[in-house]
């Protein structure tokens, strides 16, 4: 990897990681406070409409943002065309959601879903107003600005949500937090970006963007439906309380898995796209990203499995105990999410959105099986089924990397196997501490301290290249912070 590409990637990863870490910290803290103030049922009610908001947001983007990022000679008219298309789609889908709210309420047998759906649906319009600004920042690999924006948005919306919870607004506290976060995010994106829409629209530009983006739209839509179908199944066939427990487990999983996946996707895609015509540099860059990413993913997710019980009991209390087993199962599938994202990014970088769509259809047809089992056999069976689907999905996603960039599944597994083994061994040692009959506070402290030093000891002895590179990035970042501080 050349210095320019390496520096660009490191800078992007650093700020994207800081962005994720800051948001994790704030969102996590706000979530803990709200989890203690509110009941599992109130979280479950919000979970019931998650799939509808997620699907609508997926359609609003339409894959156009990725098309803009990939296009090298992007013109002003391209941005304006996508902006107005997204805005119209956002308004249309808000109206659909508004009119469909009685049917959604009837489906879940929760009358309060009518007003909640209509208010929460506003985020669709807010999101459509800021897609271009966000795309421009991603295209420039400017995650420093995005970090500031998301940080301010998370803090302000967190304050609003907590204040509403203290004032006994119940489930509306969660609604207020989500809507205000999207509002502040949109407001700050406009404030920090110099781009403003002009009155122009190109049919040719739309057709060009849609040619690439339409397949990503269908792929994203299928993926979104699948990722959120569990909310629909649990909300319809079980209780709001059980859905709340599942929702909380997913939120803890998101702290590491989904946030890491987001960081990997938005940094690797523009960086790899910029060297798409240089096969050797592309493969070298991609391989380094895979190895470093999975070191972080396996470490975090196996560690979370080990500390799940004392962590949840300490942070949100005994009423959330059922979420522990859900979280531990989810972590096994979640640890592969970043690897899925990287392999799919290669398809986009190479312009093979047709293969992207084909893969999504195949994977989601297979993924219906555990969802169906969940209806009849229980939530845990559904989650374990999703783990096996995630493993199979990795095989499919990585299959095309073999001939697109000459990086086979065998080579990928060989590269990530060492960190998998180390993370698994460390996690087993950490989990064994939980068998001791002592305070959860002591158990959690011992697990974290012992796990950290054991992992460092093993990596220092093995001298794995991904560990050395990750350590250099951390030390250089700390050094830069100290220099800036002086």
pLDDT of residue 167: 86
CA distance linking residue 123 with residue 179, whole number of Å = 6
- Strand ranges (E), 326-457: none
- From first to last of the 486 residues of the chain, give the pLDDT tens digit: 444 445 555 555 555 555 555 566 677 777 778 877 777 778 788 877 777 777 776 666 656 776 777 666 777 787 888 888 888 888 888 898 899 889 988 888 888 889 988 998 888 888 888 888 887 777 776 667 777 788 888 889 889 988 888 888 888 988 888 899 889 988 988 988 888 888 887 777 777 777 666 666 666 667 677 667 777 777 777 777 777 788 778 877 777 766 666 666 556 656 666 666 666 777 777 777 788 888 888 888 899 999 888 888 888 878 888 888 888 888 888 888 777 777 777 776 666 666 777 777 787 778 778 777 777 787 888 888 888 888 888 887 777 766 777 777 888 888 888 989 999 999 999 999 988 888 888 999 999 999 999 988 998 888 887 777 767 666 665 665 555 554
pLDDT of residue 424: 93
Helices (H), 140-196: 143-166, 172-192
Give the chain's count of helices (H) and strands (E). 20, 0
Residue 302 has a pLDDT of: 92
Residue 329: burial class (beta carbons within 10 Å; 0-12, 13-18, 19+): buried
Cα 265–267–271 angle (5° rounding)? 115
- Contact by Cβ (8 Å): 27, 53: no
Q: Give the torsion sign (CA, 79, 274, 471, 298).
A: positive
Q: How many residues make up the chain in this entry?
A: 486
Q: Spell out the residues 6+ positions from residue 417 whose beta carbon is closer than 8 angstroms to its own.
A: none
User: What is the full DSSP assignment across 463-474?
Assistant: T-HHHHHHHHHH
The full set of domain ranges for the chain reads: 38-237, 257-486
3-state secondary structure of 350: coil
**353: Cβ–Cβ under 8 A, 6 or more apart, which residues?**
63, 212, 213, 215, 216, 219, 347
Rounded CA gap, 472 and 79, in Å?
38
pLDDT at position 2: 45
Q: Looking at residue 115, what is its pLDDT?
A: 92
Confidence at residue 23, expressed as pLDDT on a 0 to 100 scale:
60
Question: By C-alpha distance, which of 288, 324, 4 is closest to 141?
Answer: 4
pLDDT at 77: 81
- Distance CA(228)–CA(56), nearest Å, equals 12
Under a CB-based contact definition with an 8 Å cutoff, are residues 345 and 265 in contact?
Answer: yes
Q: How far is the C-alpha of 245 from the C-alpha of 383, rounded, in Å?
A: 13
């Amino acid at each position: 990897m050349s210095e320019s590409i390496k520096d660009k990637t490191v800078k992007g990863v650093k700020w994207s990681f800081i962005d994720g870490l800051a948001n994790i910290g704030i969102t996590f803290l706000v979530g803990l406070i709200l989890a203690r103030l509110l009941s599992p049922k109130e979280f479950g009610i919000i979970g019931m409409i998650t799939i509808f908001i997620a699907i609508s947001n997926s359609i609003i983007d339409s894959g156009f943002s990725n098309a803009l990022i990939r296009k090298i000679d992007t013109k002003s008219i391209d941005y304006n065309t996508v902006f107005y298309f997204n805005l119209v789609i956002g308004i249309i889908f808000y109206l659909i959601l508004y009119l469909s709210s009685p049917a959604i309420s009837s489906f879940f047998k929760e009358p309060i879903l009518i007003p909640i759906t209509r208010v929460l649906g506003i985020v669709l319009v807010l999101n459509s107003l800021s897609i271009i600004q966000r795309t421009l920042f991603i295209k420039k690999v400017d995650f420093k600005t995005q970090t500031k924006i998301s940080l301010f948005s998370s803090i302000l919306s967190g304050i609003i949500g907590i204040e509403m919870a203290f004032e006994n607004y119940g489930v509306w506290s969660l609604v207020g937090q989500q809507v205000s976060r999207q509002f502040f995010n949109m407001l700050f994106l406009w404030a920090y970006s110099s781009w403003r829409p002009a009155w122009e629209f190109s049919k040719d530009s739309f057709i060009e963007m849609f040619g690439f983006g339409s397949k990503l739209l269908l792929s994203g839509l299928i993926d979104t439906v699948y990722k959120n179908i569990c909310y629909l199944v649990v909300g319809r066939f079980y209780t709001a309380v059980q859905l709340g427990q599942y929702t909380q487990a997913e939120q803890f999983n998101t702290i590491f898995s989904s946030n890491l996946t987001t960081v990997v996707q938005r940094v690797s895609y523009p960086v790899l796209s910029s060297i798409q015509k240089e096969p050797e540099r592309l493969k070298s860059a991609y391989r380094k990203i895979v190895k470093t990413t999975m070191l972080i993913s396996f470490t975090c997710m196996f560690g979370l499995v080990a500390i799940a019980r004392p962590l949840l009991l300490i942070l949100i209390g005994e009423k959330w105990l059922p979420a522990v087993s859900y979280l531990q199962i989810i972590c096994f599938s979640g640890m592969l999410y970043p690897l899925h994202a990287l392999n799919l990014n290669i398809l986009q970088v190479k312009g093979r959105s047709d293969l992207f769509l084909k893969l999504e259809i195949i994977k989601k047809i297979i993924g219906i099986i555990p969802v169906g089992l969940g209806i009849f056999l229980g939530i845990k069976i559904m989650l374990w089924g999703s783990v096996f689907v995630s493993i199979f999905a990795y095989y499919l996603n990585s299959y095309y990397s073999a001939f697109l960039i000459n990086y086979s599944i065998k080579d990928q597994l060989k590269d990530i196997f060492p960190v998998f083994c180390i993370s698994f061994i460390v996690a087993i040692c950490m989990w064994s501490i939980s068998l001791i009959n002592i305070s959860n506070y002591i158990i959690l402290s011992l697990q974290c301290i012992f796990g950290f030093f054991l992992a460092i000891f093993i990596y220092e002895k093995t001298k794995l290249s991904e560990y050395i590179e990750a350590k250099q990035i951390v030390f250089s970042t700390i050094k830069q912070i100290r220099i800036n501080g002086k």
